[in-house]
Copies of this chain bind each other. A is one copy, B any other.
Amino acid sequence: MKEILQRRSIRKYLDKPVSDKDLDELLRCAMAAPSANNQQSWEFIIVKERDILNNIAKVHPDSYHMLEHAPAAIVVCGNLQKEIYKEKGFWVQDCSAATENILIKAQNLGLGAVWCGIYPIDDRVAGLRRLLNLPENIIPFSVIPLGHPAEKKPPSDRFDRSRIHMNRW
């Protein structure tokens, strides 16, 4: 399995759609993520409408150059009603694991993707909430622009032995 080590943030995409089959596979992997007490506190919004992608880029300027040409994006959201330990915020960990699974599966499918953070930056959360018509209990967590890669990047080896400690600090 080379996907984890080969995955890079891909921000440029060809003018070619992402198939519904690939989107299903990505979301099947997202929902295979572990979650706190198996609470599965996630929801996924597939965005293909050009106007919405452009509007997300306006409220999330860091994503502009990706969303400008991405044929699709997945917005991962937390569903607070699914939380078992209320107010502990484990939904953030659930949504992170789901987001990471999407990125690894995208690599496996030959797609390019990048994790753009939304939560907990207030103006991004408010902007996405408004654009996507999200109810109060649904928190936009990340947006993942997706497409067939128009750039290639070599693997980046970030292994750093100084970050590894034996038995205690």
Contacts and interface: CB of A to CB of B under 8 A. Distances in A.
Interface of A: 1, 3-5, 7, 9, 27-29, 31-34, 36, 40, 42-49, 52, 85, 88-90, 92-93, 96-97, 99-101, 103-105, 108, 114-115, 117, 120-121, 131-135, 138, 155-160, 163-169
Contact of A28 (B3, B5, B45, B138): B5
Contacts of A32: 4-5, 7, 155-159
Copies in the complex: 2
A31 B163 contact: yes
B101 A159 contact: no
A101 B4 CA distance: 7
A29 B44 contact: no
Given A32-B158, A92-B96, A135-B169, A163 B4 contact: no
A37 to B, nearest CB: 9
A164 B24 CA distance: 9
B167 A46 contact: yes
B43 A29 contact: no
A57 to B, nearest CB: 15
A117 B32 CA distance: 18
Contacts of A85: 121
Contact of A134 (B101, B103, B160, B169): B169
Contacts of A169: 45, 132-135, 138
Contacts of A101: 4, 100, 104
Contacts of A97: 96-97, 99-100, 115
A45 to B, nearest CB: 5
B9 A34 contact: yes
